Protein backbone atom coordinates (compact mmCIF):
# COMPACT_ATOMS: atom_id res chain seq x y z
CA UNK A 1 0.00 0.00 0.00
CA UNK A 2 2.96 2.31 0.58
CA UNK A 3 4.09 1.80 -3.03
CA UNK A 4 0.68 1.89 -4.75
CA UNK A 5 -1.49 4.05 -2.45
CA UNK A 6 -4.04 4.75 -5.20
CA UNK A 7 -4.95 1.05 -5.67
CA UNK A 8 -7.19 0.54 -2.64
CA UNK A 9 -7.70 -3.06 -1.55
CA UNK A 10 -6.74 -3.81 2.05
CA UNK A 11 -5.06 -2.00 4.90
CA UNK A 12 -1.51 -2.91 3.86
CA UNK A 13 -2.06 -4.42 0.42
CA UNK A 14 -2.86 -2.83 -2.93
CA UNK A 15 -4.47 -4.50 -5.92
CA UNK A 16 -5.95 -3.73 -9.31
CA UNK A 17 -8.49 -5.56 -11.45
CA UNK A 18 -8.76 -5.73 -15.20
CA UNK A 19 -12.42 -6.38 -16.03
CA UNK A 20 -12.47 -7.89 -19.52
CA UNK A 21 -15.17 -8.86 -21.98
CA UNK A 22 -13.63 -11.35 -24.42
CA UNK A 23 -15.12 -11.99 -27.84
CA UNK A 24 -15.03 -15.79 -28.14
CA UNK A 25 -15.21 -15.61 -31.92
CA UNK A 26 -11.63 -14.39 -32.07
CA UNK A 27 -10.34 -14.36 -28.48
CA UNK A 28 -10.03 -10.58 -28.72
CA UNK A 29 -11.04 -8.31 -25.80
CA UNK A 30 -13.93 -6.05 -26.78
CA UNK A 31 -14.20 -4.25 -23.42
CA UNK A 32 -11.63 -3.54 -20.70
CA UNK A 33 -11.90 -1.52 -17.52
CA UNK A 34 -9.02 -1.22 -15.04
CA UNK A 35 -10.06 -0.51 -11.44
CA UNK A 36 -8.74 -0.89 -7.92
CA UNK A 37 -9.09 -4.21 -6.13
CA UNK A 38 -12.14 -3.21 -4.07
CA UNK A 39 -14.49 -2.84 -7.03
CA UNK A 40 -16.69 -5.94 -7.17
CA UNK A 41 -16.76 -7.84 -10.45
CA UNK A 42 -20.51 -7.44 -10.89
CA UNK A 43 -20.18 -3.66 -11.12
CA UNK A 44 -18.50 -4.09 -14.50
CA UNK A 45 -21.92 -5.00 -15.93
CA UNK A 46 -23.03 -1.39 -15.33
CA UNK A 47 -20.31 -0.19 -17.71
CA UNK A 48 -21.30 -2.45 -20.58
CA UNK A 49 -23.58 -1.37 -23.40
CA UNK A 50 -25.60 -4.55 -24.06
CA UNK A 51 -25.73 -5.71 -27.66
CA UNK A 52 -29.06 -7.15 -28.74
CA UNK A 53 -28.74 -10.79 -29.75
CA UNK A 54 -25.35 -11.24 -28.09
CA UNK A 55 -24.74 -14.00 -25.54
CA UNK A 56 -22.83 -12.97 -22.41
CA UNK A 57 -21.15 -15.85 -20.57
CA UNK A 58 -20.06 -15.16 -17.00
CA UNK A 59 -19.36 -16.97 -13.75
CA UNK A 60 -21.28 -16.82 -10.48
CA UNK A 61 -19.57 -13.61 -9.36
CA UNK A 62 -21.78 -11.74 -11.84
CA UNK A 63 -25.10 -13.17 -10.67
CA UNK A 64 -27.14 -10.08 -9.88
CA UNK A 65 -30.72 -10.53 -11.04
CA UNK A 66 -31.38 -6.82 -11.42
CA UNK A 67 -28.41 -6.45 -13.76
CA UNK A 68 -29.22 -9.71 -15.55
CA UNK A 69 -32.74 -8.46 -16.14
CA UNK A 70 -31.28 -5.30 -17.68
CA UNK A 71 -29.46 -7.53 -20.19
CA UNK A 72 -32.71 -9.37 -20.85
CA UNK A 73 -34.63 -6.13 -21.48
CA UNK A 74 -31.92 -5.03 -23.90
CA UNK A 75 -32.53 -8.13 -26.03
CA UNK A 76 -29.30 -9.85 -25.02
CA UNK A 77 -28.81 -13.35 -23.64
CA UNK A 78 -26.71 -14.55 -20.73
CA UNK A 79 -25.33 -17.85 -19.50
CA UNK A 80 -24.09 -18.17 -15.94
CA UNK A 81 -23.96 -20.59 -13.03
CA UNK A 82 -26.60 -20.64 -10.31
CA UNK A 83 -25.68 -20.01 -6.70
CA UNK A 84 -26.37 -22.72 -4.14
CA UNK A 85 -28.70 -20.48 -2.10
CA UNK A 86 -30.97 -19.55 -5.01
CA UNK A 87 -34.67 -19.98 -4.19
CA UNK A 88 -36.90 -20.95 -7.13
CA UNK A 89 -39.59 -23.39 -8.19
CA UNK A 90 -39.96 -25.46 -11.34
CA UNK A 91 -42.61 -24.46 -13.87
CA UNK A 92 -41.90 -26.92 -16.68
CA UNK A 93 -39.39 -29.65 -17.46
CA UNK A 94 -38.15 -30.61 -20.91
CA UNK A 95 -37.03 -34.08 -21.87
CA UNK A 96 -33.27 -34.49 -21.40
CA UNK A 97 -30.66 -36.86 -22.76
CA UNK A 98 -28.63 -38.11 -19.82
CA UNK A 99 -26.07 -39.71 -22.11
CA UNK A 100 -24.99 -36.21 -23.17
CA UNK A 101 -24.63 -35.18 -19.52
CA UNK A 102 -27.89 -33.21 -19.28
CA UNK A 103 -29.60 -34.26 -16.06
CA UNK A 104 -32.54 -31.84 -16.32
CA UNK A 105 -33.65 -28.88 -18.43
CA UNK A 106 -36.23 -26.80 -16.58
CA UNK A 107 -38.10 -23.54 -16.80
CA UNK A 108 -38.16 -21.89 -13.38
CA UNK A 109 -39.44 -18.82 -11.56
CA UNK A 110 -37.50 -17.12 -8.79
CA UNK A 111 -39.07 -17.12 -5.30
CA UNK A 112 -36.65 -15.00 -3.31
CA UNK A 113 -37.99 -11.79 -1.81
CA UNK A 114 -35.66 -9.55 -3.83
CA UNK A 115 -34.76 -11.84 -6.72
CA UNK A 116 -38.36 -12.33 -7.87
CA UNK A 117 -38.82 -8.55 -8.00
CA UNK A 118 -35.49 -7.90 -9.69
CA UNK A 119 -36.10 -10.64 -12.27
CA UNK A 120 -39.85 -11.28 -12.69
CA UNK A 121 -39.41 -13.27 -15.93
CA UNK A 122 -39.00 -17.02 -16.21
CA UNK A 123 -35.49 -18.45 -16.37
CA UNK A 124 -34.04 -21.65 -17.75
CA UNK A 125 -32.14 -23.94 -15.38
CA UNK A 126 -29.94 -26.72 -16.75
CA UNK A 127 -28.23 -29.29 -14.56
CA UNK A 128 -25.22 -30.83 -16.25
CA UNK A 129 -22.81 -33.56 -15.13
CA UNK A 130 -19.30 -33.34 -16.52
CA UNK A 131 -18.17 -36.76 -17.68
CA UNK A 132 -14.48 -35.88 -17.22
CA UNK A 133 -14.59 -34.52 -13.67
CA UNK A 134 -17.86 -36.00 -12.44
CA UNK A 135 -18.99 -32.58 -11.17
CA UNK A 136 -22.64 -31.53 -11.39
CA UNK A 137 -23.05 -27.92 -12.56
CA UNK A 138 -26.23 -25.83 -12.63
CA UNK A 139 -26.53 -23.19 -15.35
CA UNK A 140 -28.93 -20.27 -15.64
CA UNK A 141 -29.88 -18.57 -18.88
CA UNK A 142 -32.66 -16.54 -20.43
CA UNK A 143 -32.23 -18.34 -23.76
CA UNK A 144 -35.03 -20.89 -24.15
CA UNK A 145 -34.26 -21.78 -27.78
CA UNK A 146 -30.71 -23.15 -27.95
CA UNK A 147 -30.23 -26.84 -27.08
CA UNK A 148 -29.13 -27.56 -23.54
CA UNK A 149 -25.83 -29.06 -24.74
CA UNK A 150 -25.05 -25.81 -26.58
CA UNK A 151 -25.63 -23.79 -23.41
CA UNK A 152 -23.20 -26.03 -21.51
CA UNK A 153 -20.63 -25.75 -24.30
CA UNK A 154 -20.92 -21.96 -24.25
CA UNK A 155 -20.12 -21.86 -20.55
CA UNK A 156 -17.20 -24.24 -21.05
CA UNK A 157 -15.72 -21.75 -23.52
CA UNK A 158 -15.68 -19.16 -20.73
CA UNK A 159 -12.37 -20.73 -19.75
CA UNK A 160 -10.81 -18.85 -22.68
CA UNK A 161 -11.00 -15.72 -20.52
CA UNK A 162 -8.76 -17.38 -17.92
CA UNK A 163 -6.38 -18.53 -20.66
CA UNK A 164 -6.28 -14.96 -21.98
CA UNK A 165 -5.22 -13.58 -18.59
CA UNK A 166 -2.70 -16.38 -18.17
CA UNK A 167 -1.15 -15.62 -21.57
CA UNK A 168 -0.94 -11.91 -20.82
CA UNK A 169 0.70 -12.47 -17.42
CA UNK A 170 3.20 -15.03 -18.70
CA UNK A 171 4.28 -13.47 -22.00
CA UNK A 172 3.74 -9.72 -21.78
CA UNK A 173 5.82 -8.88 -18.67
CA UNK A 174 3.04 -7.99 -16.25
CA UNK A 175 4.72 -9.66 -13.27
CA UNK A 176 6.45 -6.39 -12.41
CA UNK A 177 5.65 -2.77 -13.19
CA UNK A 178 8.07 -0.16 -14.49
CA UNK A 179 6.28 2.64 -12.60
CA UNK A 180 4.24 2.99 -9.43
CA UNK A 181 1.80 5.75 -10.37
CA UNK A 182 -1.72 4.99 -11.56
CA UNK A 183 -0.94 6.30 -15.02
CA UNK A 184 2.23 4.18 -15.28
CA UNK A 185 0.51 0.95 -14.28
CA UNK A 186 -2.50 1.48 -16.55
CA UNK A 187 -0.26 2.50 -19.44
CA UNK A 188 1.75 -0.71 -19.13
CA UNK A 189 -1.44 -2.79 -19.03
CA UNK A 190 -2.89 -1.04 -22.09
CA UNK A 191 0.38 -1.53 -23.99
CA UNK A 192 0.30 -5.24 -23.17
CA UNK A 193 -3.30 -5.55 -24.37
CA UNK A 194 -2.51 -3.62 -27.56
CA UNK A 195 0.41 -5.95 -28.31
CA UNK A 196 -1.81 -8.99 -27.74
CA UNK A 197 -4.53 -7.65 -30.06
CA UNK A 198 -2.01 -6.76 -32.80
CA UNK A 199 -0.44 -10.23 -32.68
CA UNK A 200 -3.88 -11.86 -32.91
CA UNK A 201 -4.79 -9.64 -35.90
CA UNK A 202 -1.52 -10.57 -37.64
CA UNK A 203 -2.22 -14.26 -37.00
CA UNK A 204 -5.67 -13.99 -38.52
CA UNK A 205 -4.69 -11.96 -41.60
CA UNK A 206 -1.57 -13.98 -42.43
CA UNK A 207 -3.05 -17.32 -41.32
CA UNK A 208 -0.04 -18.08 -39.15
CA UNK A 209 0.06 -21.63 -37.78
CA UNK A 210 2.59 -21.05 -34.99
CA UNK A 211 1.62 -20.07 -31.47
CA UNK A 212 1.10 -16.50 -30.32
CA UNK A 213 4.12 -16.79 -28.05
CA UNK A 214 6.39 -17.88 -30.92
CA UNK A 215 5.20 -14.98 -33.07
CA UNK A 216 5.79 -12.58 -30.18
CA UNK A 217 9.37 -13.80 -29.81
CA UNK A 218 10.01 -13.45 -33.54
CA UNK A 219 8.60 -9.93 -33.60
CA UNK A 220 10.65 -8.88 -30.57
CA UNK A 221 13.86 -9.97 -32.33
CA UNK A 222 12.97 -8.40 -35.69
CA UNK A 223 11.37 -5.30 -34.21
CA UNK A 224 13.73 -2.78 -35.82
CA UNK A 225 14.39 -4.69 -39.03
CA UNK A 226 12.76 -3.61 -42.29
CA UNK A 227 11.33 -7.00 -43.19
CA UNK A 228 7.75 -7.88 -44.16
CA UNK A 229 5.76 -9.63 -41.45
CA UNK A 230 4.99 -12.65 -43.62
CA UNK A 231 8.72 -13.24 -44.18
CA UNK A 232 9.56 -12.70 -40.51
CA UNK A 233 6.92 -15.20 -39.41
CA UNK A 234 7.75 -17.69 -42.18
CA UNK A 235 4.43 -17.34 -43.99
CA UNK A 236 4.17 -17.87 -47.73
CA UNK A 237 3.56 -14.60 -49.54
CA UNK A 238 0.88 -16.07 -51.81
CA UNK A 239 -1.53 -16.42 -48.88
CA UNK A 240 -2.40 -12.74 -49.09
CA UNK A 241 -5.17 -11.82 -51.47
CA UNK A 242 -3.37 -9.14 -53.46
CA UNK A 243 -1.95 -5.84 -52.22
CA UNK A 244 -3.74 -4.10 -49.39
CA UNK A 245 -4.89 -0.50 -49.94
CA UNK A 246 -2.72 2.13 -48.33
CA UNK A 247 -4.68 3.69 -45.46
CA UNK A 248 -1.83 5.87 -44.19
CA UNK A 249 -2.94 9.49 -43.88
CA UNK A 250 -0.76 12.38 -45.01
CA UNK A 251 1.07 14.05 -42.17
CA UNK A 252 1.22 17.41 -43.95
CA UNK A 253 -1.46 18.86 -46.25
CA UNK A 254 -0.28 20.61 -49.43
Q: Identify the pLDDT of residue 244.
A: 55
Q: Identify the pLDDT of residue 254.
A: 46
| 19 phi, psi to nearest 5 deg | -75, 120
Q: Identify the pLDDT of residue 245.
A: 57
- Per DSSP, the residues of the chain read --S-TTS-SSSS---EEEEEEEETTTTEEEEEEEEETTS-GGGGGGG----TT-EEE--GGG--HHHHHHHHHTT-EEEEEPPTT--EEEEEEE---GGGTEEEEEEEEE-STTHHHH--S-EEEEEEE-TTT--EEEEEES--SS-HHHHHHHHHTTHHHHHHHHHHHHHTT-SS-S--SHHHHHHHHHHHHHHHHHHHHHHHHHT--S-HHHHHHHHHHTTTS---HHHHTT--GGGS-SPPP--PPPSS--
Q: Identify the pLDDT of residue 54.
A: 94
pLDDT digits (tens, 9 = 90+) for 208-226: 887 777 887 787 777 777 7
Q: In the 3-class helix/strand/coil scheme, how is 36-90 assigned residue by residue?
A: ECCCCHHHHHHHCCCCCCCEEECCHHHCCHHHHHHHHHCCCEEEEECCCCCCEEE
pTM of the model: 0.79
∠ CA(10), CA(86), CA(132), 5° rounding? Answer: 85
pLDDT by 10s per residue, the chain, length 254: 888 888 888 888 888 888 999 888 777 888 999 998 888 999 999 999 999 999 999 999 899 999 999 999 999 999 999 998 999 999 999 988 888 889 999 999 999 999 999 999 999 999 999 888 888 999 999 999 999 999 999 998 888 888 888 877 777 667 678 888 999 989 988 888 888 888 888 888 888 887 777 887 787 777 777 778 777 777 765 444 455 555 555 555 54
Q: Identify the pLDDT of residue 214.
A: 81
Q: Identify the pLDDT of residue 133.
A: 83
Amino acid sequence: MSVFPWAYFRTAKSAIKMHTLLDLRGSIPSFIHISDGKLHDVNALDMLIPEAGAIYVMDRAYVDFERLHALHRAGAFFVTRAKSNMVAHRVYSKSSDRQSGIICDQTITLDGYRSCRNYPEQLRRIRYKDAETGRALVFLTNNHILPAVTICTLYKNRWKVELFFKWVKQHLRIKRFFGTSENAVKTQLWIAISVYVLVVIVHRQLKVTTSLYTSLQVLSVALFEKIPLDQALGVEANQNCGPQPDKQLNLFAF
